Amino acid sequence: MKHFKVLGSGCKNCENTASLIEKKAAELGVEARVEKVTDMAAIMGYGVMSTPGVVLDEKLVHAGGMPSADAVAGWLKDEGCCSGSSSGDSGGCC
């Protein structure tokens, strides 16, 4: 099972990010747990200064803005953290 943490204040983009991860996991038949983290000290502990942030199995894979559906699908398909985006663009976290 994949463990995602959506880091943020609970804003609309944070809620939408959590929903997107849950939706894509269901579509792909992947077991995933999505935890919402709103504690600012915990969020800053991951080095996130712009939310929402996404942590997959304790690795930061995205920060700032909504991730794309393709990035989320890549995380769920084990395509590695670099299939996602750390800035909302096509760049990876590496």
Domains of the chain listed by start with CATH number: 2-83 (3.40.30.10)
Choose among 83, 27, 30, 45: nearest CA to 7.
45
By annotation, the residues acting in catalysis are 11, 14
Residue 46's nearest CA partner among 83, 4, 78 is 4
Q: From first to last of the 94 residues of the chain, give the pLDDT tens digit.
A: 999 999 999 999 999 999 999 999 999 999 999 999 999 999 999 999 999 999 999 999 999 999 999 999 999 998 755 444 444 433 344 3
- CA–CA gap between residue 81 and residue 94 (Å, rounded): 8
User: What is the pTM assigned to this prediction?
Assistant: 0.83
Using CA atoms, how far apart are residues 49 and 10, in angstroms rounded to an integer?
Answer: 15
Provide the token pair at 37. 């983290």
| C-alpha angle 33-37-2 in degrees, rounded to nearest 5 | 20
